[in-house]
Amino acid sequence: MIDFETSPDRYRHWRYEVDGPIATLIMDVDESGGLFDGYELKLNSYDLGVDIELYDAVQRLRFEHPGVKTVIMKSGKDRVFCAGANIRMLGQSSHAHKVNFCKFTNETRNAIEDASEASGQKYLCAVTGSAAGGGYELALAADYIMLIDDRSSTVALPETPLLAVLPGTGGLTRVTDKRKVRRDLADVFCSTEEGVKGKRAVDWRLVDEVVPKSKWEDRVTEAAHNLGAGSIRPEGADGVPLTPLKRQFEDNGVTYSRVRVDIDRDKALARIQITAPNSAPPSDGEAAAKEGCAFWPMTIARELDDAILHLRTNENQIGIWVFETDGDSAAVLAFDAFLDAQKDHWFVNEVRHYLKRVFKRIDVTSRTMVARVEPGSCFAGTLAELVFVADRSIMLEDTYEGSNLPPATLTLSPLNFGAYPMANGLSRLATRFWGDADLLTAAEERIGEPLEAEDAGAAGLVTFVFDEIDMEDEVRLMLEERAKFSPDALTGMEANLRFAGPETMETKIFGRLTAWQNWIFQRPNAVGEDGALSRYGSGLQPHYNRERV
């Protein structure tokens, strides 16, 4: 089992140092520290284990070090920044692992970009030596890229000439959409094994600055201070420690403090239940920060994040996720009101954006999502996002015979209208009602109103409304039908349907990852016996089927 929880005392590949407003995040990969046997992580190359540590470090710098305004990313090795994803690892990994690895890698790069945009914690990448493939993609996530001018340090995306695969999709997209490199120059760059260095790298917009070796250290420090000038990061605030998760793994699920996952292997289905808070919100942002990881929105963000990553990576035969909630909707809405009122407090701001990233992770996960709204549910405000994340949602009309619970309701809060945007930059409700502004306006006018099944269905907030007689049979038939479909067809269908509206850099990255990289990673030209990945490092030239498809 791959575990996504770690901490600095367990890192083997990264370390960070904090000096006032500047943190230095150092990549120093342990060659023998691969997640699996059969390869060495030479030249600061990485596998999923390396990226799990990076994701943890990015999270800790946001929550545990609120005073940090700029993070310098650098290599801890001589003459190499990062050689990218380890080729031996890719060559021996299953197709599913390769795709999940690339997806998590891009989500981690997005988290770095989100730290800059949403939290004012800027990233500077100081490249010494070669930054190739995923190593340059890591640099691309930063706000500012500096390259030492020592006649040998380069940036490169050599996947096309060397490996017969794409430059990670995130690399291609960030080169053109973020760095705004001209298309013809990008074509040359991505076709050049040896990469680009010096003044040409600046002229082509591949890096922001090239610095002589004699001035390197001073200039990196100066640039880091300049980059953090005007940051919204607070002065003198105490950080919030990311304490170990409380969780219990079982044969058929995982139990956390506020999230529970139950797996039905016969039906290839996981039920994910989130529990409402059982206490009132704290008095203000400072009190929330003192609660730390026990603050209910922070708790569910961390636990749901871990559960999603566990299911996505370790349970890839479980193709259907059913979201359920339990508890008092009023308690959830009270925390929503708190998150809205205290949004200018640094910790509350971080929690809101963490929830946003967790919902985004669900959006790009290749599983069928279903939300089940029943008596006792608390799909309200933030938790109502799970209804809008879902590919389909089912709501019970009235209540079950013999139950003393009132009918199920679904309640919207202001946070459903922009606090948790999707990769397309729109709220899930704006995406749901794309092209029909009247329905979106009508939904916004009903903020705070507990909508029973008939009203929720009429408002377009749920897919189906069933009475007690039909509920179980209809849900069973729907799930059985879904389980019979091709998982490949479902992955493609769901990924296309989830992102209506405008295209952004982020939707391009994940859309292309789902389609192009999925396809290219299975082609014999890349992974066949005579393909580029299989023959890499052997001295033998790969054999390509020259048919263009």
Backbone angles phi, psi at 46, to 5 degrees: -135, 160
Number of residues that make up the chain:
549
- Asked if residue 212 is part of any domain, the answer here is yes
335 closest CA partner among 313, 355, 321: 355
Retrieve residue 213's tokens: 């070796």
E runs forming strands in 193-252 = 209-212, 247-250
Residue 58 clears pLDDT 80, i.e. is over it: yes
- Asked if residue 522 is part of any domain, the answer here is no
Retrieve residue 326's tokens: 């339990």
70-84, 118-132, 439-453, 504-518: lowest mean pLDDT where? 504-518
Evaluate the CA torsion angle 504, 509, 511, 512 in order and state its sign.
Answer: positive
- Asked if residue 73 is part of any domain, the answer here is yes
Residue 549 clears pLDDT 80, i.e. is over it: no
Residue 243 clears pLDDT 90, i.e. is over it: yes
What local confidence, expressed as pLDDT, does residue 526 receive? 86
Q: What angle do CA 321, 324, 329 make, to 5 degrees?
A: 150
- Domain co-membership, 190 together with 329: no
- Domain co-membership, 467 together with 364: yes
Task: Answer left, alpha or beta for residue 164, where phi above 0 means left and psi between -120 and 50 means alpha.
Answer: left
Rounded-to-integer distance, Cα 508 and Cα 39, Å: 31
- Domain co-membership, 192 together with 315: no
What local confidence, expressed as pLDDT, does residue 37 receive? 95
Q: What angle do CA 294, 118, 65 make, to 5 degrees?
A: 55
The answer to whether 16 and 26 have CB atoms below 8 angstroms apart is: yes
Tens digit of each residue's pLDDT (9 = 90 or more) over 110-128: 999 999 999 999 999 999 9
CATH number at residue 296: 3.90.226.10
Report CA Rg, the chain. Answer: 24
- Domain co-membership, 105 together with 200: yes
Q: Which residue has the tokens 């059969």?
A: 38
14-23, 329-338, 503-512, 513-522: lowest mean pLDDT where? 513-522
- Domain co-membership, 344 together with 425: yes
- Domain co-membership, 23 together with 73: yes
Segment 38-47 mean pLDDT? 97
Q: Which burial class, exposed, middle or buried, applies to 18 when counting CB atoms under 10 A from its CB (0-12, 13-18, 19+)? A: middle
- Asked if residue 521 is part of any domain, the answer here is no
Q: How confident is the model at residue 83 (pLDDT cuts 50, 70, 90)?
A: very high
- Domain co-membership, 298 together with 371: yes
Q: Concatenated DSSP letters for 383-450? A: GGHHHHHSSEEEEESS--TT--SPPP-BB--GGGGTTS--TTSS-HHHHHTTT-HHHHHHHHTTTT--
pTM for the complete prediction? 0.96
Q: In three state form, how does the secondary structure of 318-380 look?
A: CCEEEEEEECCHHHHHHHHHHHHHCCCCHHHHHHHHHHHHHHHHHHCCCCEEEEEECCCCCCE
Q: Taking the CB of residue 496, how many other CB atoms lie within 10 A of it? A: 12
Buried b (16+ CB within 10 A) or exposed e, 121-130: bbbbbbbbbb
> Pick from 464, 482, 497: which residue ends a domain?
497
- Domain co-membership, 39 together with 78: yes
- Asked if residue 532 is part of any domain, the answer here is no
Rounded-to-integer distance, Cα 351 and Cα 357, Å: 10
Number of domains in the chain: 2
Work out the percent of the chain whose per-residue pLDDT is above 70: 99
- Domain co-membership, 278 together with 418: yes
Q: Which residue has the tokens 């540590």?
A: 53
Q: What average pLDDT does the chain have? A: 95
Q: In three state form, how does the secondary structure of 139-196 look?
A: HHCCCEEEEEECCCCEEECCHHHHHCCCCCCHHHHHHHHHCCCCHHHHHHHHCCCCCE
- Asked if residue 488 is part of any domain, the answer here is yes
Segment 249-261 mean pLDDT? 98
30 closest CA partner among 9, 14, 19: 14
Tens digit of each residue's pLDDT (9 = 90 or more) over 292-318: 999 999 999 999 999 999 999 999 999
- Domain co-membership, 104 together with 187: yes
What local confidence, expressed as pLDDT, does residue 13 receive? 98
- Domain co-membership, 186 together with 301: no
Three-class secondary structure of residue 22 per DSSP: strand
Measure Cα distances from 275 to 70, 217, 266, 299 in Å: 36, 50, 26, 11
User: Which range of residues forms the domain containing residue 258?
Assistant: 247-497
Residue 515's identity, in one-letter code, is: A
Rounded-to-integer distance, Cα 254 and Cα 245, Å: 12
- Domain co-membership, 317 together with 400: yes
Rounded-to-integer distance, Cα 517 and Cα 163, Å: 13
What local confidence, expressed as pLDDT, does residue 165 receive? 82
Rounded-to-integer distance, Cα 202 and Cα 294, Å: 46
- Asked if residue 54 is part of any domain, the answer here is yes
- Asked if residue 209 is part of any domain, the answer here is yes
